[in-house]
Amino acid sequence: MVSIRSIPSRPGSLSPNDLPWIIQHREDRCTLCGKCAAVCPVNTLKLTYMRKRMPKIVLNSSERGSSFKTFVGIRQNTDVGRRCIGCGSCAMVCPNEAIGPVFNENDRYRFQATAGGDATKRGGRRNEPGGSLLDRIIFNRISMLTDPALDAGRHEFAYNTLLGRVLPPEEYVRRKLSGEWIPPVREIFPFIIGSMSFGALSPNMWLGLLQGVAYCNEVLGIPVVMATGEGGCPPWVLRSPFLKYIILQVASGYFGWDEIIRAIPEMQCDPAAIEIKYGQGAKPGDGGLLMWFKVSKLIARLRGVPEGVDLPSPPVHQTLYSIEESVMKMIQSMSMAWNFKVPVYPKISGSTSAKSVLNNLVRNPYASALMIDGIDGGTGAAYDISLNATGHPIASNVRDCYLDLCKQGKQNEIPIFAAGGVGKNGNVVQNALALIMLGASGVHMGKFIMQSAAGCLGSEKNRCNVCNVGICPKGITSQNPKIYRRLDPDDVAHRLVETFQAIQVEVKKVMAPLGRSQSLPIGMSDALGIADKDAADRLNIRYVC
Amino acid sequence: MSKKITVKGRDENGQRISTQIFEDLVQKAFTKSHDLVLETYGQHNVGGRLKSGGKPVTIEINGPCGQRLGCMGLPGTKIVCNGPASDDVGWLNIGAEITVKGEATNGVCNAMAEGKVYIGGSIGARGLTMTKWNPEYNKPELWVLGSCGDSFAEFNCGGIAIVCGVEAKNPDNVLGYRPCVGMVGGTIYYRGKIDGSYSQINVKAVLPDDEQWQWLLDRLPKYLENIGRPELLAELSQREEWAMLDAIPPQERALMKTGPMSMAEFKHKIWNPGFGGGDPIRDLAPGLDRSPIGMVESGDLRRKKPFWANRDKAAPCAYYCPVHIPTIDRLRLMREGKGKEAYEMLMEYTPLPASICGHICPNLCMQNCSRQMVMRRSTSRCWVGRPKINRLPRLPLL
């Protein structure tokens, strides 16, 4: 008997049909093994006894009745905090394909997700499913008889990019002859693993990525580099020969920098570069946040903080007061830390004010590049509103900055790196090369790498996206060894290598028909087209239909 | 028909006649004789499309030869060019035997499917590319006295090449830069140095076995005779000077897809030594086990432990039974008249139900039955001291 009081009718009550993901359970296939309930990261699955009525009808008789049968079934928790997140772990472990989540267009959960008075927080990226603008840009300047076409399969291609300040030839020669300082420049693969910290990522994920990066460099000769994010680097890694594949990040929280400074005199090699984070595309004006669930003993030790506390990085650096000061002080100091031999560049969120930052960098002798992160970038933790509605799309932002450099004749001197939604729908090379031909010298990609190298389940239909609370079903963003040990670092490294090998193939498949083989087509916007007149006009590329 | 006819490539004023008109003259002469001498003057596509119905056709070329000598050549046609030849000798040849006594430029044997091309010197780039081999016909052959240019044997499907390295244009690299890309069939015999830039996923370096060596020895004299260099036979018959590049069969190639180094080997040789030979976070987290586990684990790695709420949820008769006999099921079976099944089920829980255990049981099921209040009459014991149960006890109706 169900009492009247327990029938849910309060404002916040939800029925299973109101949830964003509905569990579909097939009783006829279920063997009651319980694996689904054991694996569910949010404990939404409940094994319960349920009762069903079997009508009893006897022909030629007025005797009718019911018999009741109890059976063991699965109920879905309708609490806001325990709603199904659609990760599908249950389907992954079910031996019998008896269970799995189904997306529900009509969810009412979104109106109730404010329980406790806090706004919705999550990981992932902007919940805007479907093709992005970058997915619609195509490469249509094809070498057809007018110039020799290349064969992606057999010709040799050079597609590395430069990270660092490239001096004009006469200035280079002058400095070379007079023995003056020449800014450091790195030749790197233009697809960079975007900044994800040791802390945001589990140790198995972070080290798996670095292992794959090291394999790409040392075995395959692809000069892949990865950015660490703020949160430091394990001391052994800082003293390893693999540090040269790492872009260290400094942000307003300065987490992990004590270990880095301690290690500088003992470093075998210099890091690839230093990234100064001023902003992030996914949550502009909002600092980093490592929530207490993820501050394990290991992370606390690495970051020099107490265990189990929230670790916010404020949105601004406390000791920087103006753009000039930010640019000058931070870049000069970080350059000096490695004797002016390591490129240093700032990372900002996409913004209509990006050009002002760029123009400051142009005048700064130590600035190596500008990295702009657009609104479609991912994050481990942010408010929904920041993710969904705050920021600037990357394409026009990069384009404006590049054309501004062209006006000053500086487009070959200071590289712009772009990020934010690269590979959002899997078209990582298409997106990246579109940005490169719009003027970027390379791209950063984070979420795509998690999806490709580690099987991240997140999607723009708000699937999973629980990176912030440390229950990642794949073990990518968890600090609980019982979860992150699900991820084998060797597998991550292996998939990362496969990803970069495939990226290499696709880059050639685009460059060959364009007739380019000897340099990355940075700013080659005459090769781009889009079937959208407004976007074509805005980006100053060809409208095609 | 046997009288030799000469066709001239220049008109009476000494001017070159076009390829189209020259071809017309050749086809007309061919109706009269199958033994032609062509005094070419740069005309292209000479020597092909001469259909003799199986009778031998002999074409001798004197004078500057144009491009695509012997292209679309038919079986039975034998072409001898007394000088050098231009690009694409034997292009789309399907059976002609073409001898060029001098050298030949780029594209020799491109897309050739059958026939033989004998070159008395070196050749240019992209020789023996895109060859075909239909198993109903013989494999196409290319013989080169000297060396080959770059991109040799790309996409070679069945062609056999013999590169002798004699008076080679490039004696340091007789097969040129990056040969055999995309080569899926056929084989290359060569004599002399190469630079090792051949496509390693397509061909492997081997030495000729006895059969292959015999194949070469059998055909060398005819080749040398054709190009007019029989004196080289002894020099070219030194087996130890020859090596081969052999197409890798698809089965073998599939096994090569794993890449240049396994991840395990990389970990062992490069990754671990980079951290002084141990886990890179052993100092931060001593003793931390990061080895992979499954999604659902038991023991210490178990993430969720069930809370048994039997006292609240289970039927009192089953809950209070010290040996957990599912009394409800037992009674149900009895109500359904399944005495034997009920007895067998009971045996799974207690070995001596009707004797010792039955007698000492304090009947906790009965004491705790929640229906006592409702039905007045609860479950009762049934005396089963007799050897056979004749009658099931009467049970209260639900």
Query: In angstroms, what separates the C-alpha of A458 from chain B's closest C-alpha?
Result: 18
Q: How high is the pLDDT of residue A289? A: 78
Residue in B274, B281, B295 nearest the CB of A298: B281
B336 touches chain A (CB under 8 A): no
- Crossing angle of helices A489-514 and A203-215, in 10° steps, is 50
126-155 in chain B: CB under 8 A from chain A: 151, 154
Q: B293 to chain A: which residues are within 8 Å by CB? A: 482, 485-486
The answer to whether the CB atoms of A218 and B266 lie below 8 A apart is yes
Predicted confidence (pLDDT) at residue A175 exceeds the cutoff of 80 = yes
- Closest chain B residue to A234, measured at CA: B281
Answer whether B261 touches A (CB < 8 Å). yes
**How far is the C-alpha of A317 from the C-alpha of A251, rounded, in Å?**
7
Q: Which of A237, A241, A301 sits opposite B280 (nearest CB)?
A: A237
Distances (CA, A) of A277 to A545, B110, B139, B218: 40, 57, 64, 74
For an interface test with B, give the residue of A207, A303, A483, A508 to mutate (most B CBs within 10 A).
A207
Residue A380: count of CB within 10 angstroms of its CB: 27
**Closest listed residue to residue B384, CA positions, set B362, B357, B365, B349:** B357
In the three-class reduction of DSSP (H, G, I as helix; E, B as strand; rest coil), residue A496 is classed as: helix
Contact B4, B62 (CB under 8 A): no
C-alpha closest to that of A527 among A423, A402, A442, A435: A435
pLDDT value at residue B31: 92
The Cα angle at residue A198 between residues A196 and A199, in degrees rounded to 5: 100
Q: Element (H or E) spanning A209, and its range?
A: helix A203-215
Note whether A486 contacts B288, CB cutoff 8 Å. no
Q: Report the residue from A154, A215, A236 with minimal CB separation from B154.
A: A154
Q: What is the pLDDT of residue A57?
A: 75
- Residue B110 CA, distance from chain mean position: 24
Q: What are residue A60's phi and psi, to 5 degrees?
A: 55, 30
For residues A474 and A456, is the Cβ–Cβ distance under 8 A? yes
Instruction: Say if residue A169's pLDDT is above 70.
Output: yes
Torsion sign across C-alpha atoms A142, A146, A151, A154 = negative
Q: Tell me if A38 and B280 make a contact (CB, 8 A cut-off).
A: no
Instruction: State the residue for tokens 């107490």.
Output: A306
Q: Is A219's CB within 8 Å of B293's CB? A: no
Q: At what angle do helices A447-454 and A489-514 cross, to 10 degrees?
A: 120
pLDDT tens digits for range B38-77: 999 999 999 988 888 878 999 999 999 999 999 999 999 9
How do strand A161-164 and strand A185-188 relate by DSSP bridges? antiparallel
Per-residue pLDDT, A138: 97
Q: Return the H-helix or E-strand segment holding A275.
A: strand A273-277
| d(CA B144, nearest CA chain A) in Å | 24
Residue B213 has a pLDDT of: 97
pLDDT band, very low/low/confident/very high, at A160 (cuts 50, 70, 90) = very high
Q: Which residues in chain B are closer than 8 Å to A298, comparing Cβ atoms? A: 281, 284-285, 288
| C-alpha–C-alpha distance, residues B223 and B75, integer Å | 18
A231-265 pLDDT, tens digit per residue, is 889 999 999 999 999 999 998 888 889 999 999 99
Is residue B365 within 8 Å of B395, Cβ to Cβ? no
% of chain A residues with pLDDT over 70: 98
Beta strands A416-419; A442-445: pairing state = parallel
State the CATH class of domain A133-543: alpha beta
Q: With CB atoms and an 8 Å threshold, state whether B297 touches A482.
A: yes
pLDDT at A8: 64
Q: Give ranges for CATH 2.160.20.60 in chain B.
A: 5-256
**CB count, 10 Å around CB of B249?**
11
CB A273 within 8 A of CB A246: no
* Contact assignment for B295 to A236 by CB distance below 8 Å: no
| pLDDT of res. A148 | 72
Mean pLDDT value across residues A400-411? 96
Tokens 């590289």 map to which residue?
Answer: A415
> Which positions in chain A have a beta carbon within 8 angstroms of at least one beta carbon in chain B?
35, 37-39, 43, 89, 92-93, 153-154, 203-204, 207, 211, 214-215, 218-220, 234-237, 240-242, 297-298, 301-302, 481-491, 493-494, 497, 501
In degrees and rounded to multiples of 5, residue B277 shows phi and psi of 80, 40
User: What share of chain A has pLDDT > 90, as a percent?
Assistant: 71
How many other CB atoms are found less than 10 A from the CB of residue B349? 14
Structure tokens at B5: 């006819």
Smallest CA–CA distance, residue A115 to chain B, in Å, is 25
DSSP secondary structure of A281-324: TTSTT---EE-GGG--HHHHHHHTS-TT--EEPPSS-TT--SHH
Subunit contact B290:A481, Cβ cutoff 8 A: yes
Residue A182, Cβ density class (10 Å: 0-12 exposed, 13-18 middle, ≥19 buried): middle
The conformational region for residue A462 under phi > 0 = left, psi -120 to 50 = alpha, else beta, is left
d(CA A195, nearest CA chain B) in Å: 20
Whether the CB-CB separation of B100 and B120 falls below 8 Å is answered with yes
Report the residue from A219, A236, A485 with minimal CB separation from B266.
A219
Write down the mean pLDDT value for chain A: 91
B277–A contact, CB cutoff 8 A: no
Q: Distance, in angstroms, between B192 CA and closest chain A CA?
A: 25
Which residues in B lie closer than 8 A to residue A39 (C-beta atoms)?
295-296
Write down the residue that tokens 């080569």 correspond to: B183
> In tens digits, what is the pLDDT along chain B, a chain of 398 residues?
568 999 999 999 999 999 999 999 999 999 999 999 999 999 999 998 888 887 899 999 999 999 999 999 999 999 999 999 999 999 999 999 999 999 999 999 999 999 999 999 999 999 999 999 999 999 999 999 999 999 999 999 989 999 999 999 999 999 999 999 999 999 999 999 999 999 988 999 999 999 999 999 999 999 999 999 999 999 999 999 999 999 999 888 888 766 678 999 999 999 999 999 889 999 999 999 999 999 999 899 998 887 777 667 788 888 888 888 888 888 888 888 888 888 888 888 888 877 788 788 888 888 888 877 666 554 555 544 444 555 666 666 65
What are the structural domain ranges in chain A?
11-108, 133-543
**Could you report the per-residue pLDDT of A445-502, keeping only the tens digit for each?**
999 999 999 999 999 999 999 999 999 999 999 999 999 999 999 999 999 999 999 9
Measured in angstroms, the CA of A302 and the nearest CA of chain B are apart by: 7
Question: Domain spanning B5-256: which superfamily?
Answer: Glutamate synthase, alpha subunit, C-terminal domain (2.160.20.60)
CATH code of domain A11-108: 3.30.70
Is the CB of A236 less than 8 angstroms away from the CB of B289? no
Q: What is the pTM of this model?
A: 0.83
CB contact under 8 A, B181 and A482: no
- Comparing CA positions, the residue from A492, A474, A451, A459 lying closest to residue A89 is A474
Does B397 contact A at CB distance below 8 Å? Answer: no
Residue A187 per-residue DSSP state: E
Average pLDDT of A206-222?
97
At A534 the pLDDT is 97
Q: How many angstroms from the chain centroid is the CA of residue A314? A: 20
- In terms of CA atoms, which chain B residue is nearest residue A204? B290
Contact A218 B304 (CB under 8 A): no
Q: Could you give the angle at which helices A447-454 and A203-215 cross, rounded to 10 degrees?
A: 90
Give the pLDDT score at B384: 46
Structure tokens that stand for A302 in this block: 């690495």
pLDDT in tens, A15-39: 889 999 999 999 889 988 889 999 9
